[in-house]
Structures are given as C-alpha cells and as structure tokens.
C-alpha cells in the first residue's frame, strides 16, 4: 500500500500546519476556521491515520471552491437545553464545527455533569481520534460519532444493497497515564482505504467486502464494478450482525437525534454528528474514575501476549507514541499526499513545504 518507510522524507509538523492553514486561508476561510481544520488534519497524520489527515485537504479545497463547503457564518441553534444542544451546521467546515461543539459541551458538562451537542448538516469532520485527547487532557470522557446520510457503501448484515456509511465510533477515556483513545468503524474497513487501494490496484488484507453476487472479496474493485458490491459490517460474513447493530446505534444518535438523515434528500458529502462530554467529577469522582481506568490498563498490559514479544496495547497507544515521535523528528506523509496538493499550492500561490534535513 506504499506506506511511509525509512526512506520517506520527514516534514516538521509546524511546517505542515502552516502549509495547510495558508492553503485554507487562500481558499477563503478565516483564521479561526483555517486553523481548526488544519490542526485536525495534521493531527490525523501525526497519529498515523493517513487516510484521514492531509489527504483530505485537496478534497476540502475542492468543496470550498465549489461552494459545497461554506466559508462564512455560524451554526444555527435549533435546540438549547442545559445539557443538550442541537445545531444546523449549514455545511460549514466539519473540524471547526466539532471543536466549537466540544467547547460548548465541555462548558455544559462542568455545569451539568454531561453536555451533548448534535449537529445536522456539518461538512466532513476528518479523523475522529484527532479530537479526543483535547478532552482527556482536561480529565473528561468524550464520545464522538458521525454518519453521512448523503452516501451509502455498507450493506446491512444479510443484504447486498448499501444503506450505511462506515459510521465511526470514538471515545476518549482519561487514565493516570496515556489516555485510551478508541476510534473504530462499524464496518470492516473504510471508504478512504478502499478508494486508495482501488486507485493503486491494491487489495485489502482480508475479505472485508462482498461483491454484487454475495461473495466475500478482498478486491476494492468490487465496489466499483456492476453489480456493485459493498463493505461488510464489522464482523464480516460470520458475525456482521454486531457491526450492523452498532451502525443502527450510530444512525439513531446522529440522524435520529438531529432529525435529519436518511429520510431526507441528499445534499452532498458531509456528516451528521453526535458529541458528548462527561465530567467524571460529577459521578464517582475524577480520582475514582482514573483509579478504575488505570487498573484496567495495567491488567490489559499484564495479559500474556498471544505473540511473543508483542505486549497487549491499549487503543490509541500506538498513535499517541507515534505522534510524540513525529512531533520531535518530523512527519512521514503517505507518498501520494503532497503530489495531490501540488496543483492546489500552485493555484493558490502557496509554497510546498520542504522536508527536514
């Protein structure tokens, strides 16, 4: 899959952040919005989520140019109760909307113990894991999930016709040390990975797809050939009812609570978002919370490894350590990312970043 290796150039994270911010500003976003979007995209690459980092910048710029991602304004407030808020995101940049929602949900959680914000008609929100540490650093528990009712690539378990998007679920959980950062898809794989592999002529590590005749496949081409196949729910052919159930949960939390989703006309690439912040201090207490989560981490790490020399890791542990290393030594970008941004840099008059020595 042409993953970055030791020969791939490194780029200083602040340089990449400046590059992305300047491109977005040249495309018409104000400083608050361009800073927010750039920071989330670069954070995705820092953590190794190369399908949901700067590879999205080109498509975002294209959406800004077309007017299908809005540049200006604020979300409309549809409902506002002490611990529950609903916004119409008006197709504004997703990362900016989510960061604004996090700030509001955190404020409400400090007052009420919990704060939830649901956003209809957000634009795409990028890598969910990139948001979580902002909450856990403050000792808060965060839950974030989204769906995109404008497209469908995942069939319900037992079916051939797609109904869902991969519908990610994520959670940030404070511990006494590194936080637990869960970011999973309710399907066997993602649109980002299947699209990339299809363009490169690659295959998936396992048969995570089903072709249009109901046969499992590892070839992303089945998603594009007629009759079109779909991505399997998490659990695959044997236990995909589990991913199917989780997809339905996400749809209820996003489109259901937002009051806009798959029952409505499609508007274009976007997201419907459910975000919740919980303050452990309002329940059993912050110290009691991290005592429990710390014990779980310790017990998981102490579990005898199934493969010699490979200690059990906590979700997010590898990404957090990679982010720290890449902050120090520079970011190894997926090889196709900068070439895809070169035309935009030329068009918008922004210099491409130079690799570190």
The angle that helices 31-46 and 94-112 make with each other, rounded to 10 degrees, is 90
In a domain? residue 307: no
**Domains in the chain: how many in total?**
2
Domain assignment present for 308: no
- Domain of residue 340, CATH code: 3.30.1370.60
DSSP 27: T
Let me know whether 26 and 59 are in one domain: yes
Say if residue 198 is in the same domain as residue 323. no
The answer to the question of residue 5 being in a domain is no
Residues 88 and 209 in one domain: no
pLDDT of residue 4: 61
Residues 214 and 241 in one domain: no
Whether residue 180 is found in the same domain as residue 203: no
**126, 94 contact by CB (below 8 A):** yes
Q: Is 4 within the bounds of a domain?
A: no
Please check whether residues 168 and 199 belong to one and the same domain. no
CATH number at residue 209: 3.30.60.50
Query: Domain of 31?
Result: 10-188+232-297+314-348
In a domain, 293, yes or no: yes
- On whether both 136 and 216 belong to a single domain, the answer is no
- Clarify whether residues 340 and 209 are in a common domain: no
Residues 223 and 237 in one domain: no
Positions in the chain short of pLDDT 50: 1-2
The residues, any chain, with a CB within 8 Å of residue 238's CB and separated by 6 or more, are none
Looking up tokens 């941004």, which residue turns up? Answer: 341
DSSP-derived 3-state class of residue 11: strand
The answer to whether position 184 is within a domain reads: yes
pTM of the model as a whole: 0.95
- Same-domain pairing of 159 and 207: no
Three-state SS at 185:
strand
Between CA 89 and CA 75 the distance in angstroms is 5
State whether 225 and 156 are in the same domain: no
Report if residue 1 sits inside a domain.
no
Question: Does residue 131 share a domain with residue 96?
Answer: yes
In a domain, 63, yes or no: yes
Q: How far is CA 243 from CA 82, 144, 157, 330, in A?
A: 33, 17, 8, 36
Domain boundary among 199, 216, 231: 231
């Amino acid at each position: 899959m042409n993953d970055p290796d030791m020969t791939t150039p490194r780029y200083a994270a602040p340089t990449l952040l400046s590059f992305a911010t300047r491109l977005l500003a040249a495309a018409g976003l104000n400083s608050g919005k361009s800073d927010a979007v750039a920071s989330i995209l670069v954070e995705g690459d820092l953590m190794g989520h190369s399908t949901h980092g700067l590879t999205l910048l080109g498509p975002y710029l294209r959406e800004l140019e077309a007017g299908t991602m809005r540049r200006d304004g604020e979300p409309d407030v549809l409902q506002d109760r002490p611990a529950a808020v609903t916004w119409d995101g008006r197709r504004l940049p997703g990362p900016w909307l989510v960061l604004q929602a996090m700030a509001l949900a955190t404020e409400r959680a400090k007052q009420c113990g919990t704060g939830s914000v649901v956003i209809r008609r957000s634009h795409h929100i990028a890598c969910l894991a990139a948001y979580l540490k902002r909450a856990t650093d403050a000792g808060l528990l965060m839950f974030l999930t989204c769906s995109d009712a404008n497209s469908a690539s995942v069939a319900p378990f037992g079916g051939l016709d797609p109904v869902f998007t991969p519908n990610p679920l994520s959670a940030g959980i404070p511990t006494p040390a590194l936080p637990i950062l869960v970011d999973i898809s309710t399907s066997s794989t993602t649109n980002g990975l299947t699209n990339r592999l299809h363009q490169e002529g690659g295959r998936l590590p396992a048969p995570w797809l089903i072709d249009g005749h109901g046969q499992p496949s590892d070839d992303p081409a089945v998603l594009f050939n007629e009759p079109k196949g779909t991505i399997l729910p998490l659990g695959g052919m044997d236990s995909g009812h589990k991913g199917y159930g989780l997809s339905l949960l996400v749809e209820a939390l996003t489109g259901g609570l937002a009051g806009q989703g798959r029952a409505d006309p499609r508007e274009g690439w976007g997201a419907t978002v459910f975000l919740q912040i919980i303050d452990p201090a309002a329940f059993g207490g912050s110290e009691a919370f991290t005592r429990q989560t710390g014990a779980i981490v310790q017990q998981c790490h102490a579990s005898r490894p199934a493969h010699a020399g490979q200690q059990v890791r906590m979700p997010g542990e590898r990404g957090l350590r990679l982010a720290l290393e890449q902050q120090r030594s520079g970011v190894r970008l997926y090889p196709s990312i900068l070439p895809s941004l070169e035309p935009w840099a030329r068009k918008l008059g922004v210099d491409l970043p130079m690799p570190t020595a």
